[in-house]
Structure 1
Amino acid sequence: MMQVKRTVQIDVGTRGRRRRSEREQAAVPSGRIPRVSRLMALAIKFDSLINDGIISDQSELARLAHVTQPRMTQIMNLLHLAPDIQEQLLFLPRVISGRDPVHERMLRPVAAEVSWTKQRKMWSELSSND
């Protein structure tokens, strides 16, 4: 018996994908996300991992993240900031060139303040110096 080979052509619609990726590339803003914004997002994510019971405590989190326990504490202390300050940190403008205008070290005294009213005053003074 003779075997017949058949060729099938399938259009996978790559044209639509190409257009979408071009749109996505055009929508990506230039510059980089400030480090303190990334740290704030990490602190929020880490807190949810601990609250959900996925990670037992900050010590385990530090081991998994390959940072020291004091550094993990510094990152997690960002959660002590007033919610509106946390939001502002998350949405800081991208840095086009040069150094970040706000550093985690600058926020330590603000996060150490218990009163959110005082924190907001300290934050406004800190952010106005930029």
Structure 2
Amino acid sequence: MDEADVHQAEAAAGDMEVAAGARIVVPVQWARRGRVPERDEDVPEPRPRGRIPRIARLLALAHHFQHLLDTRVVPSQTELARLAKISTARCTQIMNLLVLAPDIQEEILFLAPVCKGRAAITEKKLKPVLATLVWAEQRRRWAEVKRQRL
């Protein structure tokens, strides 16, 4: 509280009688001086070593492609394939990843980085999962694929 605040408080209390033993409570805000220590959230987590699995990158690309189509940035999947310099068949293969059940997509997007060698889950291993549009069947087949890779 600075001097002006004290005078204002005295003027406001000037007309009031204060009983003996009364307590006056004044809110005080303490300011820290010097350097504020870093909080845990300010420190970035170390990046995991390795590379993002190819299938995860392709699924993210499929979502990006779909966004471009939904917002009409690109008028058609054929035009999208032309701009991406891939065949229309390859564009369709990538876009077909979007028919996977949402929980399977999430698992794919959060697959552990590949440190060396090939990724455990590949497009080829996903073909039986993509062969059906029924999510319950996809989940059963996905569980099989995950079991085989272990």
Residue 84, structure 1, aligned to residue 84, structure 2: no
Equivalent residue of 1:125, what SS?
Answer: helix
Instruction: Identify the match of residue 94 of structure 1 among 91, 108, 113.
Output: 113
TM-score, scaled to structure 1: 0.78
Listed as ranges, the matches of 1:34-73 within 5 Å are 34-73=53-92
Q: How big is each residue's C-alpha offset from its partner over 1:6-49, in whole Å with a ceiling of 9 and x where there is no partner?
A: xxxxxxxxxxxxxxxxx65x711111100000000000110011
CA distance in 1: counterparts of 2:61 and 2:145, whole angstroms: 22
* Alignment-mate amino acid for residue 118 of structure 1: E
Unaligned runs of 5+ in 1: 1-22
* Alignment-mate amino acid for residue 43 of structure 1: A
* Alignment-mate amino acid for residue 62 of structure 1: A
Q: Determine what percentage of the aligned residue pairs are the same residue.
A: 48
CA distance in 1: counterparts of 2:112 and 2:99, whole angstroms: 22
Give the structure with the larger helix fraction: 1
Deviation, structure 1 residue 119 = 0.1
1:119 aligns with 138
Between 1 and 2, higher relative CO (CA 8 Å, sep ≥ 6) is seen in 1
Q: Would you say the 8 A contact 1:80–1:112 is kept in 2? A: no
Unaligned runs of 5+ in 2: 1-42
1:30 aligns with 49
TM-score, scaled to structure 2: 0.68
